[in-house]
Amino acid sequence: MSHAHDHDNDLDPMAARVRALETILTQKGLVEPAAIDAIVDTYETKVGPRNGAKVVARAWCDPEYSDWLKQDATAAIASLGFAGRQGEHMQAVFNTPDTHNLVVCTLCSCYPWSVLGLPPVWYKAPAYRSRAVMDPRGVLEELGVHLPAETNIRVWDSTAELRYLVVPLRPKGTEGLSEEELAALVTRDSMIGTGLALESHQP
């Protein structure tokens, strides 16, 4: 499975309307496609996921915060100033050496915007939504996540009432890093479960 963009006829009605509006504005010379792409990329891969990365880094560094995150993720996340649209009902699931967590929304595309920013196109694609449930290990393998055969993979299905944040395993050898440095190791995909935390900072 690749993270390719869907064709227009695979878009949900709202996304199709947005695409149509973007096309009209571009044709009239009112917007620059490259500027739109840059803005979307910023919110999809930089600004939004940085919020979640700070939550994960705090959990790695602060056992009390980690316990709070396990018990009441919505409140723990809000305490760092990250609340809002689709972030009201959160649950944090923690990866362990024995269990890897993977998040999907099989019925729609529920996604915690307040901590992960804009949902990636592939997250909403039917291929991911179905295969993540039926063959999670195969999907992870295709995405470059190779787990030991004995590792249990647990799939969490997001809904309008509950959305999930995966807390990935802290990479080995990072004991001396600051919270900010640790946050730089946390990727959006690792907080969905389709990736792992980075072993070292990659700008």
Count: domains in the chain: 1
What is the separation, in whole angstroms, between the first and last Cα of the chain? 26
What percent of the chain lies above the pLDDT cut of 90?
A: 58
- Per the annotation, the verdict on 105 as an active-site residue is yes
Identify the burial level of 154 via C-beta atoms within 10 angstroms of its C-beta, where 0-12 means exposed, 13-18 middle and 19 or more buried. Answer: middle
- Per the annotation, the verdict on 2 as an active-site residue is no
Task: Residue 65: give the domain boundaries.
Answer: 8-192
pTM of the model: 0.76
To the nearest 10°, report the CA torsion of 193, 130, 155, 158: 80
Q: Is the residue at 146 inside a domain?
A: yes
Q: Is the residue at 3 inside a domain?
A: no
- Per the annotation, the verdict on 61 as an active-site residue is no
Q: 150-190, pLDDT tens digit by residue? A: 999 999 999 888 999 999 999 999 999 999 999 999 999 99
Q: Is the residue at 41 inside a domain?
A: yes
Q: Is the residue at 31 inside a domain?
A: yes
Q: For residues 74 and 161, is the Cβ–Cβ distance under 8 A?
A: no
- Per the annotation, the verdict on 108 as an active-site residue is yes
Tell me which of 61, 66, 79, 110 is the catalytic residue: 110
Q: Is the residue at 13 inside a domain?
A: yes
Tell me which of 66, 109, 114, 158 is the catalytic residue: 109
Tell me which of 2, 66, 79, 108 is the catalytic residue: 108
Q: What is the mean pLDDT of the chain?
A: 85
Confidence of residue 85 (pLDDT cuts 50, 70, 90): low
Domain with 181 in it: what CATH number?
Answer: 3.90.330.10
Confidence of residue 87 (pLDDT cuts 50, 70, 90): low
Tell me which of 66, 105, 158, 190 is the catalytic residue: 105
| Main-chain phi, psi angles of 153, to 5 degrees | -110, 120
